[in-house]
Amino acid sequence: MQLIKHNEQSQIIKGKGLYSHTIYTGEQWVNVEEGDTAWIVNADAGEVSVVRGPMKVETKDMCVVIRGYSCSNKTVEVDGSDTNLPYINGCSTDQLIHPIRPGDPTLQKLTIPPHASEQKHHIHATPRIVYVYEGLGWSIVGMKDQDEYLLEPGDVIILDKMEAHHFETQEDSLTVIPLHVYSSTPLEHNHAMKIGTHEV
């Protein structure tokens, strides 16, 4: 896992998987090429957007350019969306920008309530880039040797696929906006190795 603290300008290129993607944080101009899309969190405006290239976009918080994935432009209010879908261990979620097809990128909103320490350590089959939108909390990462990262608004977490993690809170709730570079589908569990494996 990588943690980029708020207002830190960076550019991180991830080339693994079906779509390569570049993560931009801090204030900068980003060039979006034709055939690519930029997934933007604008915390001051309380909105998230996806825009198609070719164009140049200004980002202050977080922008992820997904190479070779193109969809229609869309802007959604973050605060106008409640998290009504149940998630693990008392958390709730909502889709801000829906995937067009199963497996396509999606932008979510996830709320972890105050005093949540029971969220199970878990993995995802796909990478996540997570913007910390509101509140305070911790990201606990790793298997045997676990690292704790304090999360504050404006921080960006980069989780590689299959990286074990969970979130914890104390007095504050924590709201994060995760970008799933690929969205999960039931097909992840429908393969010969898993179907042919039986726990005893």
Q: Nearest Cα to 97, choosing from 152, 34, 54, 41?
A: 41
Both structure tokens of 176: 């994060």
In terms of residues, how long is the chain?
200
What are the φ/ψ torsions at residue 192 (nearest 5 degrees)? -60, -40
Q: Cα–Cα distances in Å, from 172 out to 41, 43, 113, 114, 134?
A: 22, 18, 7, 5, 9
Peptide bond into 186 cis (omega under 30): no
Provide CATH 2.60.120.10 ranges for the chain: 85-188
pLDDT of 7 over the 80 cut:
no
Query: DSSP 3-state assignment of 153?
Result: coil
Kindly tell me if the per-residue pLDDT of 17 is higher than 70.
Answer: no
Q: Which structure tokens are listed for 50?
A: 């996806």
Report the pLDDT value the prediction gives residue 200, as an integer from 0 to 100: 52
**85-188 — its CATH code?**
2.60.120.10
Q: Which of 17-26, 90-99, 148-157 has the highest mean pLDDT?
A: 148-157
> Which strand (E) or helix (H) includes residue 180?
strand 174-180
Tell me: the pLDDT tens digits for 90-149? 777 888 999 988 889 999 999 888 888 766 788 888 889 999 999 999 998 888 888 889
Is residue 21 pLDDT above 60, yes or no?
yes
Least confident of 110-124, 143-157, 172-186: 110-124
Quick check: 89 pLDDT over 70?
no
pTM for this model (two decimals): 0.88
- Structure token pair of residue 71: 């969809």
Give residue for tokens 């204030």: 27
Neighbours of 143 (CB within 10 A): 9
Give the highest mean pLDDT range of 35-39, 66-70, 119-123: 35-39
58 - beta bridge partners?
29
- Structure tokens given for 73: 């432009």
Dmax over CA atoms of the chain, in Å, equals 55
Contact 197, 140 (CB under 8 A): no
Q: What gap in Å lies between CA 64 and CA 10, rounded to an integer?
A: 11
Does the pLDDT value for residue 81 go beyond 70?
no
Tokens 């980029």 sit on residue:
4
- Report the pLDDT value the prediction gives residue 115, as an integer from 0 to 100: 86
CA 168 vs. chain centroid, Å, equals: 17
